[in-house]
Amino acid sequence: MSQWMLWYLLSWLTGSPLAALVALAVIWWLGDRFTFRVLPDPLRPFGRWRRMGQLRRTIEVNPHDRRSRLELAQLLLDARRPGEAAKVLRPNVEAGDDDVHTAFALGAALARSGDTDAAERVLAHARAEEPRFRAGEIDLELGKLRVRRGDFAGAREALERVLELRPGSVEARYFLARALAGLGLSADARRVREDAWREYAVLPRFHRRQERPFAWRLKPWRPALVLVAVLVAAALAGRLLVAAAPSRDGLAPRGAAADYDDQ
């Protein structure tokens, strides 16, 4: 059954084309949840917010709970709140925690909040502890930091190490292309961008969601094309809904009723 026929059937059952669209979106989302899990999970931010509240209450009762502080900092990083993450982690560092997990989380928080010099030092310490941490996660953070601060040679070195451990990383290739372009190596940067897109094209569907923001930055016309397609589809759907809406007497569409009145 086509999606159009399914929407038409749901419209007939619910008596509302808009309710049918909502039901169809729910069906798509549930199908994705039980299969590929490509679509974002709207419940995930709520679960993260709830867990952050639990950890904050735990830390209020026991400020020396270092494990809760580390977990809270990692959640804050996921929520794009690096300044708060660094603030939460500082008591751990002051208490003597210098393990790779704490150092990496603090270094990432400092890097993303703009404290680049301190971030370099902390991330260098984390890399000395475990160079292959999370398959090159430290080098990836260093590479992005150095691209932002204009250290393109250092970024290239770090990102090439990442690709030795993660050959399929579109994110690492995207920032490597930026580093090469900053060094004036335009041909190499173009080659890396092409390689990144080829890697993205063969990734499993569940992995593409993570890499999609960087893949679309490689070819910005693709999200623009998707946006145009969505706007055109929305406009057509609106016209169809208006045409299908009943007239005042409930017997004919509005367009037909208007033609009848003109006669």
Six-digit token string for 126: 């984390």
Q: How far apart are CA 168 and CA 12, in angstroms?
A: 47
Q: Looking at the structure, do residues 141 and 212 belong to the same domain, yes or no?
A: yes
Average pLDDT over residues 235-254: 52
Q: Do 62 and 104 belong together in one domain?
A: yes
Q: What mean pLDDT do residues 142-146 have?
A: 96
66 domain residue, yes or no: yes
**Mean pLDDT, the chain, whole residue set:** 81
CB 158 within 8 A of CB 144: no
Determine the pLDDT at residue 34.
55
Query: Are 67 and 94 found together in one domain?
Result: yes
Q: Please say if the pLDDT value at position 16 is more than 80.
A: no
> Can you give the pLDDT at residue 201?
85
Pair 194, 225 in one domain: yes
Number of domains in the chain: 3
Please, which residues bridge with residue 246 across strands? 253
Residues making up the chain, counted from first to last: 263
Same domain assignment for residues 136 and 237: yes
CA separation, residue 108 to residues 81, 154, 206 (Å): 11, 17, 25
- pLDDT of res. 46: 77
Within this chain, do residues 23 and 53 fall inside the same structural domain, yes or no? no
pLDDT, average across residues 15-28: 67
Query: Which residue has better confidence, 48 or 248?
Result: 48
Q: Which domain holds residue 139?
A: 131-241
CA 215 to chain centre: 12
In a domain, residue 257? The reply is: no
In a domain? residue 260: no
Residues 143 and 215 placed together within one structural domain of the fold: yes
Query: How far is 166 from 50, CA to CA, in rounded Å?
Result: 33
Identify whether 249 is part of a domain.
no
Taking Cα atoms as reference points, which of 216, 139, 134, 204 lies closest to residue 168?
A: 204
* CA distances (Å), origin 262, targets 246, 253, 256, 258, 259: 18, 14, 10, 6, 5
Query: pLDDT digit string (tens) for 91-103?
Result: 999 988 889 999 9
Q: Considering 129, 158, 187, which residue would you say is the last residue of a domain?
A: 129
Tens of pLDDT, residues 181-212: 999 999 999 999 999 999 988 888 777 878 88
CB 183 within 8 A of CB 159: no
Same domain, 176 and 218: yes
Q: Is residue 98 part of a domain?
A: yes
Residue 147 lies in a domain: yes
Identify whether residues 120 and 49 lie together within a single domain.
Answer: yes
pTM strictly above 0.85? no
Are 5 and 60 part of one and the same domain?
Answer: no
Give the CATH number, domain containing residue 66.
Answer: 1.25.40.10
Residue 258 lies in a domain: no
Q: For 15-151, where are the alpha helices, taking DSSP H only?
A: 17-33, 43-61, 66-78, 82-94, 100-112, 116-129, 137-149
246, part of any domain: no
* 3-class secondary-structure state, position 246: strand
Query: What is the predicted pLDDT for the residue at 248?
Result: 41
